[in-house]
Amino acid sequence: MNKERPLILVVNDDGFTAPGIRTLIRLMKTLGEVIVVAPDSPQSGMGHAITLNSMLHAERVHVNQGELIEYTCSGTPVDCVKLAMNKLVPRKPDLCVSGINHGSNASINVLYSGTMAAALEGAIEGIPSIGFSLLDYSPDADFSQSEDYVLKIAEQVLANPMPKGTCLNVNIPKVKKEDLKGVRVCRQANGNWDEEFDERVNPLGKTYYWLTGKFVNYDQGTDTDIWALDNNYISVVPVMFDVTAHRAIQELKSLNYG
Amino acid sequence: MNKERPLILVVNDDGFTAPGIRTLIRLMKTLGEVIVVAPDSPQSGMGHAITLNSMLHAERVHVNQGELIEYTCSGTPVDCVKLAMNKLVPRKPDLCVSGINHGSNASINVLYSGTMAAALEGAIEGIPSIGFSLLDYSPDADFSQSEDYVLKIAEQVLANPMPKGTCLNVNIPKVKKEDLKGVRVCRQANGNWDEEFDERVNPLGKTYYWLTGKFVNYDQGTDTDIWALDNNYISVVPVMFDVTAHRAIQELKSLNYG
């Protein structure tokens, strides 16, 4: 192993066979030594979940007879990062990349996203980290149009220190390469899901529900990730793990809590 | 049902039989009409996970022959809030309280916490929301010493508008009532977990891991939740769902992303 090359930890939440992570692995191999630790099954929507009440397995796997160091892990995306850091990486990675997710992690989705939680966990561990997502839920999604940008963003993160306590949330619009207008650094749009639970009855007569819904953007700003994506830009949002509402502290101090 | 009384949604992550939620239900009944939607099994460490690849069940349960409206839900704490809001509450709640959690959700724990994710989901739904946690993991934890404070904080949130886009993360030290010094509004301490995976071999010879670790506080500030708790104060941290690192945006805009 060439000591000069950066070590890149690749994770995701769609599981180790997803086309998105296969694309990301191929791209990252051009930038450094790659180690993959990915869930052995889909873990979409797992947010920052960790496995406390069960054990974890990790298996070395050989995909396409490749020489790449790849592990599948029975846990969540965040478990993958924690287990990688504690047991699997030969040294501290220079970069942690997560994805490429099949589906948007813009706006409020950042909170539900296993992809972004894994990137944020990388940042908590002190590694420059990026989560990549393509706005296409299809397992046959075409990741090729944005490959140059994914590489360029990863190179920039390797070359420049990340703002303290942050990682990057990168979302890519589902458009042809020639329609991509470039990259916008922006803020998380104020939007959320208008849930609709699909209510059904099972053969035994018992009611059950499927979570569905529609994303609603309440934000008119042109400096948001949703605006950027709607206008054919790749959005880059710096995300932090200090979730304190600092500006609210003074206001709350005036209240009498007894 | 008295229309004058506020409607209070009670959730948690330890499951509907946990002493912590039983305490919280009892306290909230003195402040308003209560509806409970809690996981049917422990969901600690589930963070902001939602159930996308499976269905959900909800069951009306009758605890102690009580007249209280209580549901158990097969999903995560955030699922409980979403299902409650979409299918179970008679009207929009005036308050959402989560907990009382058995164990700390101070500092970085806020991200892994199902208790806090449920409260944050309440805030996303536009409900004034609070997560309560006691620094005692024991199932036999004594919640009595802080009951007056829990009530007072809930009353203040009912009486005053919450800072926009926030909920409260309330942690209670494990001390006797007479040693509690009061409440401090503070920020999330900069700390994280130094993981240690306990590696074992199963009877078939296969390696497995248990996630364990030690919390490390890197923060010397006296304005943090960890400081407050170490000094016998109840900590109140306003937490927001906009996780954008706003101060990092300008810095990142100077980089060339291609």
Q: What is the pLDDT of chain B when averaged over all its residues?
A: 95
ipTM, 2 decimals? 0.94
Specify the DSSP class assigned to residue B162.
Answer: P
Only one residue has tokens 């390696």, namely: B207
Res A139: pLDDT: 82
Q: Does position A2 have pLDDT exceeding 60, yes or no?
A: no
* Chain A partners within 8 Å of B45 (Cβ): 49-53
Looking at the complex, report in whole angstroms how far the Cα of residue B152 sits from the nearest Cα belonging to chain A. Answer: 6
* pLDDT (0 to 100) of residue A253: 95
Residue window 182-201, chain B: list those with CB within 8 Å of chain A: 182-183, 185-188, 190, 192, 195-197, 199-200
Mean pLDDT of B86-108: 97
Query: How large is the average pLDDT for residues B223-232?
Result: 98
The CATH number fitting domain B7-189+221-253, selected from 2.30.130.10, 3.40.50.1100, 3.40.50.620, 3.40.1210.10: 3.40.1210.10
Q: Is A1 a residue whose pLDDT tops 60?
A: no
Query: What gap in Å lies between CA A1 and CA B67, rounded to an integer?
Result: 67
pLDDT score for A180: 96
What is the percent of chain B with per-residue pLDDT over 90, rounded to a whole number? 92
Residues A18-38 have a mean pLDDT of: 96
Q: Taking Cα atoms as reference points, which of A137, A44, A105 lies closest to residue B52? A: A44
For residue B242 the two structure tokens come to: 């906009």
Read off the pLDDT of residues B117-168 as tens digits, 9 standing for 90 and up: 999 999 999 999 999 999 999 888 999 999 999 999 999 999 999 999 999 9
Tens digit of pLDDT for each residue in B144-156? 999 999 999 999 9
Please say if the pLDDT value at position B66 is more than 80: no
Q: What residues 84-103 of chain A have any CB closer than 8 A to a CB of chain B?
A: 85-87
Q: Model confidence at A65, in pLDDT bands (50, 70, 90)?
A: low
Q: Which of A108, A138, A101 is nearest to A214 (CA)?
A: A108
**Domain locations along chain A:** 7-190+220-253
In a mutational test of the A interface, the residue from B112, B160, B244, B253 whose CB has the highest number of chain A CBs within 10 Å is: B244
C-alpha to C-alpha distance for A61 and B112, rounded to whole angstroms: 28
Residue A21's pLDDT is what? Answer: 96
pLDDT over 70 for what percent of chain B? 98
The whole-chain average pLDDT of chain A stands at: 95
Q: In this structure, are residues B245 and A163 in contact, taking their beta carbons and an 8 Å threshold?
A: yes
User: Which pLDDT belongs to residue B256?
Assistant: 86
* The residue to which tokens 């996981």 are assigned: B39
Mean pLDDT value across residues B12-35: 96
Q: Which residue of A has its CA nearest to B74?
A: A208
**Do residues A35 and B35 make contact, with C-beta atoms less than 8 angstroms apart?**
no
B176: distance to nearest CA of chain A, Å? 17
Confidence of residue B65 (pLDDT cuts 50, 70, 90): low
Q: How close does chain A come to B3, measured CA to CA in Å?
A: 26
The alpha-carbon gap from B216 to the nearest alpha carbon of chain A, in Å, equals 12
- Decide if pLDDT at A56 tops 60: yes
B1 has a pLDDT exceeding 70:
no
Where is A116: in which H helix or E strand? helix A114-124
Q: Give the gap in angstroms from C-alpha A142 to the nearest C-alpha of chain B.
A: 20
| pLDDT at A64 (0 to 100) | 73
Q: In chain A, which among 121-180 make CB contacts under 8 A with chain B?
A: 124-125, 148-149, 152-153, 156, 160, 163, 165-166, 168
Contact flag A47-B45 (C-beta cutoff 8 Å): no
Q: How many residues does chain A have?
A: 258
pLDDT(B43) > 70: yes
Minimal Cα–Cα distance from A92 to chain B, Å? 14
Q: CB–CB of B197 and A251 under 8 A?
A: no
CA–CA min distance B56, chain A (Å): 5
Residue A49 DSSP symbol:
-
Q: Quick one: average pLDDT of A223-252?
A: 97
Beta-bridge mates of residue A108:
none
Is B241 within 8 Å of A196 when comparing Cβ atoms? no
Cβ contact A206–B149 (<8 Å): no
Q: Is the model's pTM score more than 0.90? A: yes
Residue A50 and residue B211: Cβ atoms within 8 Å? Answer: yes
CA dihedral A100, A102, A107, A112 (to 10 degrees): -100
Q: How far apart are CA A181 and CA A166, in angstroms?
A: 25
A111 chain-B contacts, CB cut-off 8 A: 48, 117, 120, 124, 241, 243
Q: Please report the pLDDT score of residue B217 as a whole number.
A: 97
Write the CB contacts of B8 (distance below 8 Å, at least 6 apart in sequence): B28, B31, B32, B33, B34, B35, B93, B94, B95, B96, B97, B154
- Asked if A15 is an interface residue toward chain B (Cβ–Cβ < 8 A), one would say no
Which amino acid, residue B256? Answer: N
SS3 B141: coil
DSSP string, A208-241: EEEEEEEEEE----SSBHHHHHHTTEEEEEEEES
Q: Is the pLDDT of residue A3 over 70?
A: no
| Interface contact B37, partner A, CB < 8 A | no
For B50, the closest chain A residue by CA position comes to A45
Does A160 score more than 80 pLDDT? Answer: yes
Residue B101 carries which DSSP code? E
Cα gap B175→B12, rounded to integer Å? 22
Q: Which CATH number does A7-190+220-253 carry?
A: 3.40.1210.10
Dump pLDDT digits (tens) for A74-91.
999 999 999 999 999 999
Partners of residue A86 in chain B, C-beta under 8 Å: 195-197
